[in-house]
Structure formats: C-alpha cells, structure tokens
Amino acid sequence: MNKLSRTSLSLLVACLGLMANASQASSIRIAAPSIDNLVEEDGSGIYQRMVSRAIESLDVNVQTLFYPYRRAIRAFDAKEVDCIYSFDDVLYQTYQPDQLVSSFPLGKFSFHAFRAPDKPAIVSVNEMVNLRVVGIMGHELYIESVLQGSVRADMVMTEHQAINMLKQGRVDVLIAALPDIQPFISQLSYSPTFSLFSGYDRLNCHNTENNLIFIRELSLQLNRLKNDGSYESLAGEFFVPF
C-alpha cells in the first residue's frame, strides 16, 4: 500500500469514527404549544431559552415543533413528538404516572380572577356566578373542574384581547394565569391569596429509555441554572419564586 493510499484509508477511518459518534447523540422532538412569553414560535420564549441553556453541555439533538395549544397535545398523544412543554396536570388526567417522565420545573404558575382596578378583588368562585367572565383559549383544560359548571367563561385567543374587553366593560372578570398576565398586573385588581389552580410547568415526555436519560440529564442542568440565579435572570418580571 503506497503512502497516498494509507493516508486516504486513515481519513476514511477518521470520518467513519466521527459519523459513529454523531449517531450516538440522542434525538428529541419537543412540541411547543403557544404560551405567551414562555413558549414562542420564534424560539424566544423563556422556557425555550432555559432548555437551550441547559442542553448546551448535553450530547443531544433537540427539534422543537411549534403548535397551537390543543394541537400540541394531539401531537404528543399520537407520539409525533417525544416531549411537550407544560400541560403537567392535564396529561396526568389521561396518562398513568409510569407512562410519563417529567423534568425539573421550568416555572410555577397560578390562575386568578382579575377585575378592573376600581373593583373589589374576587375571593371565591361563588362571587363570579352572575358575572360576565372571560378566559384564555386552552386554559379551560385547567379551570373547568374548578368552576364546576357554576360559572360560564367565554374564551378568547390572547391576554391582550381579554384585557381590552375588561377595560371596555364588556366583561366583569378575567381568569388568567400568572406569570402570563404579569405585564398587565398593575392595571388589575385581584387577590394573590385566592388561586383557582396552581402548579408547575415542566417538560413532559413519553417514558422511553432515551427520553428518561434525556430528562435526567436535563433536570440536573435545570436545577443548576435555578440555583445559580439563571432562572430569575432569564425570566425577569415573569419569574415566580419556587
């Protein structure tokens, strides 16, 4: 074998080695439902930036697929994706605990009843029975069971739209989540101690060996980011302590 042939063979072996290493990197598909400021179509959402920061040191290829709210759940149910942002409590109404693996929390949220700033704060569901109530489309997945059919809420697409309806006097109460509604909080009356529902947002995945390894490694990094102050830095005014 001449020198040129030996060199070519060495390069071929090196390339095959690189290809083998690359193929070892796990691949994860994540459904990203539209959640204002937290999960955005352009990838700028707070949760997306947290995950991006966390996986910098991980050997994983992540593909994020953006969907409308309910379509994201259907994609997850159909196993078109491995994981989905948020929907913890919604998913656990359908799946058994051993069917899912969930990450360290990305954030905390709570649903409240908001009113115009000159109105007294709502402190019970009964106070809303005869009032005009508006909510954000998709949030009924969380609040329907709490309202127990005694309160009817019309759903609109965005917090901006709901806020404008409240300002114009077209509705009496807006049911929305913190931190989503945080940019408007100074314009609203509400009781911080009266929560309709509260929970944590996580990355939830189907329980497979590949997904379990990913979630374990991701959670270690997310925990580190929370402890070193990166969560609060990335979230800014949307950070809810937990």
Both 7 and 95 in a single domain? yes
Instruction: Please tell me the predicted confidence (pLDDT) of residue 179.
Output: 94
Q: Are residues 114 and 136 in the same domain?
A: yes
Let me know whether 70 and 175 are in one domain: no
Which segments within the chain are labelled E, that is strand?
Answer: 26-33, 60-67, 83-85, 100-102, 107-114, 133-136, 153-156, 173-178, 197-201, 203-206
pLDDT computed for residue 13 by the predictor: 42
| CA atoms of 122 and 194, how far apart (whole Å) | 8
- Examine the domain organization and report whether 125 and 182 are in the same domain: yes
Task: Write down the pLDDT at residue 146.
Answer: 85
**Residues 175, 218: one domain?**
no
pLDDT in tens, the chain (242 residues): 554 344 344 444 444 444 444 445 689 999 999 898 999 999 999 999 999 999 999 999 999 999 998 899 999 999 999 999 999 988 998 999 999 999 999 999 999 999 999 999 999 999 999 999 999 998 988 888 888 788 999 999 989 999 999 999 999 999 999 999 999 999 999 999 999 999 999 999 999 999 999 999 999 999 999 999 999 999 999 999 99
**pTM of the full predicted structure?**
0.83
Residue 24 has what pLDDT? 58
Residue 90 and residue 43 share a domain: yes
pLDDT of residue 213: 97
For the chain, the domain total comes to: 2
Neighbours of 59 (CB within 10 A): 11
Query: Distance between CA 97 and CA 168 in Å, rounded?
Result: 44
H or E element, residue 191: none
Judgement on whether residues 148 and 72 belong to the same structural domain of the protein? no
pLDDT of residue 144: 86
The parent domain of residue 149 ranges over 110-198
What pLDDT score was predicted for residue 124? 96
The pLDDT assigned to 73 comes to 95
CATH number of residue 13's parent domain: 3.40.190.10
87 dihedral zone (left: phi>0; alpha: psi -120 to 50; beta): left
Residue 140 shares a structural domain with residue 160: yes
Residues 7 and 102 occupy one common structural domain:
yes
Whether a cis peptide bond, with omega within 30° of 0, leads into 105 is: no
Verify that 206 and 99 share a domain, yes or no: yes
